[in-house]
Structure 1
Amino acid sequence: MYRGSQTVGTCVENPTINAEDIGADREMMDDVFDTTYREKKGPRPPMKIVWRNVILMSLLHMSAVYGVILIPLAKPATLVWAVLCFMLSALGVTAGAHRLWSHRSYKARLPLRMLLAVSNTMAFQNDIYEWARDHRAHHKYSETNADPHNAMRGFFFAHIGWLLMRKHPDVIEKGKKLDLSDLHADTVVMFQRRHYKKLILLMCFVVPTVVPWYFWGESFYISLYVPCLLRYALVLNATWLVNSAAHMYGNRPYDKNINPRENKLVAIGAIGEGFHNYHHTFPYDYSSSEFGIKYNLTTCFIDLMCYLGLASDRKRVSKDTIKARQQRTGDGSHRSG
């Protein structure tokens, strides 16, 4: 049972897929909003700022600004490399940590899971296990104190502020109760978690910097500030805009009773993750959008992987289910296509 979903059948199942090809065999319920949650009565816990994160994020964004200044001085190959690193990093989050590991919206064979884990490490947004845990909590307790980036606390908090302060106690408490057995069983996820610090040093900082400096003689400073630090900051902010802007600006054609919105600008920047009213209404859809590949490079990537035999069992919501839902709970702004 997948709550009105259907499995896209254009890929032929490979009977030789082994036990490591963990996917969506089980019912995923931890990404469904919990209507029974109630905030605890009494005074709110004090806000505790993590000054180390404040300093590091400030330095990163100042470095990114300097990287923008250096763009005209960079070699064309370096700019191409920076875009490639951006795309790889983003896919590690969108196709990997989000649609595969958080929602189990499709299955990925071992080579694809390894590629996505490497790409996710380049993005440096916490390891896959922690990212998926927090994202499931975000869906299950959306816009409450148990939501790690509760948008009801304002744009800044939802965008970056949640990373600059200690988590609300409810986030920690509810996060411990989520079913994460599928993540524990995934050898790729647990390998990345065990070796995360060494891997982020290599994939997020060393590789993006060294490749243009070593292979085509780019300046070390341009290599460091453009494809490394600027690219890293851009990927972070593209992801954060899904938590902030896509929860505040846009229409709600599928469910007007929830905060997430449809935001095409965020979808373009986050390679397909801005159709957020749809996604929170149907979190198990592998495309995170009713309209497939439109403004959605992540869906294109997953479809390509399916064509190559590296992915399968993509879950989609039936057109009848979508129509019924938008007529029942939508804000009237639905447009087909």
Structure 2
Amino acid sequence: MEKNLLNHEDSAGDRGVVDDLFDETYREKEGPKPPLRYVWRNIILMSLLHLGAVFGLMLIPSAKIQTLAWAVLCFLLSALGITAGSHRLWSHRSYKATLPLRIFLTIANSMAFQNDIYEWVRDHRVHHKFSETDADPHNATRGFFFSHIGWLLVRKHPDVIEKGQKLDLSDIKADKVVMFQRRYYKPSVVLLCFTLPTVVPWYFWDESIIISFFIPAILRYAVALNAAWLVNSAAHMFGNRPYDQHINPRENPLVSLGALGEGFHNYHHTFPYDYSTSEFGWRFNLTTAFIDLMCFLGLASDRKKVSKEVILARKMRTGDGSHKSG
């Protein structure tokens, strides 16, 4: 079942979804910005991860084809845990998922290791409501590096914490699957992000333990992280704005290709409740194809989709005109 949303200006309550539209009443505090406080643990761990990923790249010629295929499968599964799971399902409530699908997406989300679902949703809802302000966790106006990875290497701006504490997350707290993951997140990450990807090639086709660890676990994890981070950085800086030229997020097909459909970002910030995050269906959008498959199998339902008439009207009203040449 697909729901056509008639009006972008509908309130969250009228749409039956979370309040994920930009809060135009927010004003940044005057005066000097708080000093940067580095999180040295994260800086060291991220440095080691990327050094390990470089080593993993060097091992690719020595890896068995099954190992490389397994690494790609782990990448796709973990990415879906973010895109179809913590993003489109839990952050935006853009479709409904049955218990088996929610369990699967939670397992995939732990394999992705990008914070537990509860924390991911909290930060993402803050990002939408206060995009490109001090209350945005990865404010792109602070530069490419900050919005890509830097925001994880320093303490959050006080406004991010303040606004995050005021969000209504009752729907997330009511989801027993999500709260179970939050309770056991660390062991689930050790098992699903690092142990399982390593053990399978080593056990089933006698791959070396070094290659099994550094390609399906470390390299795959680093690539998946950077693909997701590009949505926060590149898709907020490079591309056109056919839906709303007054906001920073852009349409970036290359980011969509790597992030399974999450790079149609001008559209997504204009219509955040659309399950496809794009008006183009499956084009560069494996996550949309996955959700559609789940609906076909009866594991998902109630996909929210903006009507073509509303999309066109919005393009004409606030777009940059680039849709005319497309």
TM-score (norm 1): 0.93
Alignment of 1:276 onto 2:265: yes
Report the CA distance shift for 1:116/1:98 in structure 2 as closer, same or farther (over 3 A): same
- Gap regions ≥5 residues in structure 2: none
Match of 2:149 in 1: 160
1:44-74 superposed Cα distances (whole Å, 9 cap, x missing partner): 1111000000000000000000100000100
Letter in 1 for 2:174: A
Deviation at 1:2, TM superposition (A): 8.4
- Gap regions ≥5 residues in structure 1: 7-23
What is the distance in 2 between the residues matched to 1:182 and 1:336? 41
Deviation at 1:25, TM superposition (A): 10
Q: Secondary structure at the match of 2:36?
A: coil
What is the distance in 2 between the residues matched to 1:294 and 1:223? 33
Report the CA distance shift for 1:76/1:25 in structure 2 as closer, same or farther (over 3 A): farther
Map residues 194-273 of structure 1 onto 2, 5 A cutoff. Answer: 194-273=183-262
Deviation at 1:42, TM superposition (A): 1.8
Match of 1:109 in 2: 98
Match of 2:320 in 1: 331
Alignment of 1:304 onto 2:293: yes
| 8 Å contact kept, 1:5–1:316 | no
1:292-324 superposed Cα distances (whole Å, 9 cap, x missing partner): 111100000000000000000000000000000
TM-score (norm 2): 0.96
Match of 1:125 in 2: 114
1:221-253 superposed Cα distances (whole Å, 9 cap, x missing partner): 000000000000000000000000000000000
| 8 Å contact kept, 2:235–2:249 | yes
What is the distance in 2 between the residues matched to 1:188 and 1:153? 35
Letter in 2 for 1:196: Y
Q: Name the count of aligned residue pairs.
A: 320
What is the distance in 1 between the residues matched to 2:7 and 2:303? 10
Alignment of 1:98 onto 2:87: yes
Residue of structure 1 aligned with 2:129, choices 140, 146, 154: 140
What is the distance in 1 between the residues matched to 2:147 and 2:317? 29
Aligned alpha-carbon RMSD (Å): 1.6
Deviation at 1:26, TM superposition (A): 6.7
Alignment of 1:40 onto 2:29: yes
Between Structure 1 and Structure 2, which shows a larger proportion of helix residues? Answer: 2
Match of 1:4 in 2: 6
| Percent of aligned positions that are identical | 73
Match of 1:290 in 2: 279
| 8 Å contact kept, 1:30–1:178 | no
